[in-house]
Amino acid sequence: MEMREMDLWYTEKQTKNHGITTKINKTLYHDKSEFQTLDVIETAEFGNMLVLDGMVMTTDRDEFVYHEMITHVAMNTHPNPKRVLVVGGGDGGAIREILRYPSVEQAVLAEIDGKVIEASKQFFPKIAGGLDDPRVDIQVADGIQHVRDNKGKYDVILVDSTEPVGPAVGLFQKPFYEEIYEALKEDGIMVAQTESPWFNRDLIRQVFRDISNTFPITRLYTASIPTYPSGLWSFTIGSKKYDPLAVDEAKLHRFDTRYYRPELHKALFSLPAFVLELLQPEGE
């Protein structure tokens, strides 16, 4: 008798009319929290995949890109980051990268949904591994409130949010960037994940304008993340003092990373024309 396994595929509509589809070996976890639905699936192509509210957050195979790239450009621009905040980022990947810096004394994780942290510890041990480090302070709390309550405290703040729907909407708005400005020390620097230059053009324009109106230095860069919409992702930096384009690359920290390299640091800001036009005051 022939035995056949059920052929399971996970399909995510990344826009109304386009998406990815990927083969599932098995489903590992499904839950609902106060904030969102959580799923972990074992895929054939990308290993374990974390899905929140039906959107891919991270996978074993390509997580290194997102976590290195949200972390090292800002961290390596700041000459001496001691206190660092991650807003969101409950999977722990950004924390893992932050802890590579010997100057870091405290890394605070303000994640609103404790279930994300628990699921990551269980199903993504390589990503969440740093969360048990004694320098890490995990706060299951609203990141907006945390930022509001900690003025002048941080050297670097990373906004490692979900998509701008549901609980994360406020993380893409100007009042939040203004409160981040206040939560940073006088030479502090922030970075936010800011979606796809192909599919979220209005959002990127608005965020870049809002951060430009808040910080004296604003920069945008991109990275290749195959499981994210369009495969191209953007990050926006706001900085009070240090310009990522003014660093001496020869003096940057070098780690055993798989995407970020010091030699890439400045080149990241040379943008394709269709991305650069998002940063022009008048837009297209």
Residue 161, marked binder: yes
Instruction: Map the footprint of its own copies across residues 56-95, applying CB under 8 A.
Output: 62, 64-65
Dihedral angle of Cα 265, 189, 282, 171, to the nearest 10 degrees: 110
By CB under 8 A, residue 4 contacts its own copies: no
Which residue blocks in the chain are alpha helix, DSSP H?
63-75, 93-98, 114-123, 125-128, 143-149, 174-183, 201-212, 273-276
By CB under 8 A, residue 47 contacts its own copies: no
Q: Which is nearer to its own copies, 77 or 214 (CB)?
A: 77
Task: Tell me how far apart the alpha carbons of residues 128 and 121 are, in angstroms, rounded to a whole number.
Answer: 5
Stretch that binds its own copies, among 87-95, 103-111, 120-128, 262-270 (CB under 8 A): 262-270
By CB under 8 A, residue 232 contacts its own copies: yes
Both tokens of 204, joined, read 């990127």
Catalytic annotation, pick one of 62, 160, 187, 256: 160
Minimum Å distance from CB 259 to its own copies?
4
Among 224, 245, 253, 283, which residue sits at the site for its own copies (rule: CB under 8 A)? 224
Q: Which is nearer to its own copies, 72 or 83 (CB)?
A: 72
Minimum Å distance from CB 45 to its own copies?
4
Residue 145, marked binder: no
Task: Tell me how far apart the alpha carbons of residues 15 and 230 are, in angstroms, rounded to a whole number.
Answer: 10
By CB under 8 A, residue 32 contacts its own copies: no
Minimum Å distance from CB 196 to its own copies?
8
Q: What is the CA radius of gyration of the chain?
A: 18
By CB under 8 A, residue 231 contacts its own copies: yes
In the block, tokens 């995949």 appear at 49
60 carries an active-site annotation: no
By CB under 8 A, residue 258 contacts its own copies: yes
26 forms beta bridges with 42
Please report how many Cα atoms fall inside a 13 Å half-sphere around the Cα of residue 246, on the Cβ side: 9
Let me know the angle formed at the C-alpha of 126 by 73 and 8, rounded to the nearest 5 degrees.
105
Among 135, 226, 243, 279, which residue sits at the site for its own copies (rule: CB under 8 A)? 226
Residue 60, marked binder: no
Q: Which is nearer to its own copies, 169 or 267 (CB)?
A: 267
In the block, tokens 């942290």 appear at 117
In the block, tokens 């997580």 appear at 63
Considering only CA atoms, which of 268, 197, 185 is closest in space to residue 230?
A: 197
* Catalytic residue annotation: 160
Residue positions forming the annotated binding site for S-methyl-5'-thioadenosine: 36, 111, 142-143, 167
